[in-house]
A and B are shown apart, each in its own frame.
Chain A
Amino acid sequence: MKAAAILWLRQLKRYSRSRARMVGALGQPILFLISLGFGLGPTFARAGAGDYLQFLAPGVIVMGILFTAVFSGIEVIWDRQFGFLKETLVAPVSRLEIVLGRTLGAATVALIQGVVVFFICLLAGFRVTAAPLLPLALIFMFLIALVFTAIGTAIGSVLQDMQGFPLIMNFIVLPLFFFSNALYPLRGLPGPLAAAVRFNPLTYGLDGVRSAFGRASQFGVTTDLAVLGGLAAVVLALGSYLFSRIEL
């Protein structure tokens, strides 16, 4: 597993060296946190639903993870033509080891990004009420990162060029985010939307993260872990399979 380890390390080195990318990826979650958190906060409070910022913060943290993760997976398209990926594809190492090192590395980067957003949320007024459960929050955040890196890798392995990228963003990534419980609570949603949100695996990830931060869980932590863990195993297998079939 030496090859997987050095490919994992490579991702971390790249992340720590490109400040612009790091800061750039923070822009979107911060924008959501400030505009929605403070903008909708009063309305949310008047409706008797409590402090919106406390509800929204985990959603914004997951957003940071989601976009970093999907994007690094999709980078496969670019990387196999002009980048270092080609070098790994002709190396005497199994494709499985390459895709594992790459995926774990990208997921770790996405997790770090999520932790950075977490600290920004704390600055904005987010409060954690169950500090001992923080490791559990990290586990959920990592599983979410893993799931979406693997989905990105699967997509990146199949697409031939970047033209399909907006399609992926608008019809897969954004719907997953907007039709989850990231921005609004599940309670009282109209039927079809409620069904979509309940069907969305990200909802269970968010439920897990929220309960680890000290809010009441809707489905129970065990269910959340089972759904997310099961999904991670499936998409990881799928991503690895599609990656191993890449031809140049």
Chain B
Amino acid sequence: MSAVIEVRDLVRTFDGFIAVDHISFAVEAGRIFAFLGPNGAGKTTTIKMLTTVLAPNSGTIRIAGHDPVREPRLVRRAFGIVFQDPSLDDELTAYENMELHGVLYGVPRAERKARIAALLNFVELWERRDDYVKRFSGGMKRRLEIARALLHQPQILFLDEPTSGLDPQTRNHIWSFVRSLSREENVTVLFTTHYMDEAERVADEIAIVDHGRIVAEGTIPALKRRTGAHSLEEAFIALTGRDIREDEAAPQDRLRVMRQVWRGRR
């Protein structure tokens, strides 16, 4: 098997602060790879570079064999993404959001219709397809975002904290869906999460990131063996320490606070 995601010596700094510090890893086709780390560890920054929306300072990335900096279009075709913050158009219906995605990705009309129906059924939103997204709960929005990310049949799915703020039922639903994607459709999945139990249940392989570096990488049994821990959470604490991180609020964090004040949680 060959690696679908290959990252070597990736570096990104912001005004002298090293957010990502020589990160290297590879993910093989059809595997589920989890990025774990405390707040501000560099997980989201890495995903941004892999998905062409942030340029690295140095290092190489190959997504499905292409370079995000030089061939952004080929890379963008190869992946689907669910962002940490919502990215649906609230004033459109669920169906219209799907349709827009299909047009942007150049999915032919007949195929578009069929796939939208299949995916909306799969995430159990077909009955609600003509409702405005602003009427959806947080869990429904997330499910719609996942369905949308899969519409153009990507080889890779990026999920940045896909289950934060969701109830256990919705989380279970999402993860069993992600697992079946990897098993049945050979989709490669890279996700970040704060929930250790989720990573333990779902991921084939884990990278623990701290201060912009990968401090440990491997399968869950290997990580436990290495640290002598009984659970992933113990291993995580053993590797990253007990300090609570106080990273400074970036502009997007300030915006996020404003948004919560005005609209309530997602």
B88 in the interface (beta carbon within 8 A): yes
CA distance A162 to B258 in the complex (A): 9
Binary interface encoding of chain B residues 53-72 relative to chain A, with 1 for a CB under 8 A from any of its CBs, else 0: 11100000000000000001
Give the contacting residue for A90; candidates B52, B55, B103, B258; CB below 8 A: B52
CA distance A148 to B245 in the complex (A): 43
Whether B89 contacts A14 by the Cβ 8 Å rule is yes
Chain A residue total in the interface (Cβ 8 A):
29
A184 in the interface (beta carbon within 8 A): no
Binary interface encoding of chain A residues 157-198 relative to chain B, with 1 for a CB under 8 A from any of its CBs, else 0: 000111100000000000000000000000000000000000
Whether B103 contacts A6 by the Cβ 8 Å rule is yes
Whether B89 contacts A92 by the Cβ 8 Å rule is no
User: How would you classify the secondary structure of chain A's contact residues: helix, strand, loop or mixed?
Assistant: helix
Whether A84 contacts B89 by the Cβ 8 Å rule is yes
Q: Which residues of chain B come closer than 8 Å to A86, judged between CB atoms?
A: 53, 83, 85, 87
Binary interface encoding of chain A residues 219-248 relative to chain B, with 1 for a CB under 8 A from any of its CBs, else 0: 000000000000000000000000000011
A88-B104, A90-B81, A161-B254 given; A247·B53 CB < 8 A: yes
A93 in the interface (beta carbon within 8 A): yes
Binary interface encoding of chain B residues 226-266 relative to chain A, with 1 for a CB under 8 A from any of its CBs, else 0: 00000000000000000000000001101110110000000
Give the contacting residue for B54; candidates A81, A161, A248; CB below 8 A: A248
B263 and chain A: residue at smallest CB distance: A82
B101 in the interface (beta carbon within 8 A): yes
Whether A247 contacts B76 by the Cβ 8 Å rule is no
Q: Which residues of chain B come closer than 8 Å to A89, judged between CB atoms?
A: 53
A127 in the interface (beta carbon within 8 A): no
Give the contacting residue for A14; candidates B48, B76, B91; CB below 8 A: B91
Give the Cβ gap from A236 to chain B, nearest Cβ, in Å. Answer: 22
B76 and chain A: residue at smallest CB distance: A92
Q: Which residues of chain A come closer than 8 Å to B258, judged between CB atoms?
A: 162
Q: Which residues of B are in contact with A by a Cβ distance under 8 Å?
A: 48, 51-55, 72-74, 76-77, 79, 81, 83, 85-92, 96, 100-101, 103-106, 132, 148, 251-252, 254-256, 258-259
Q: Which residues of A are in contact with B by a Cβ distance under 8 Å?
A: 2-3, 6, 10, 13-14, 17-18, 77-78, 81-93, 160-163, 247-248
Sample 20 A-B pairs with CB under 8 A, ordered by A number.
A2-B106, A17-B91, A82-B259, A83-B86, A85-B87, A87-B87, A87-B88, A87-B101, A89-B53, A90-B51, A90-B76, A90-B79, A90-B81, A91-B101, A91-B105, A92-B74, A93-B104, A161-B255, A162-B258, A247-B53
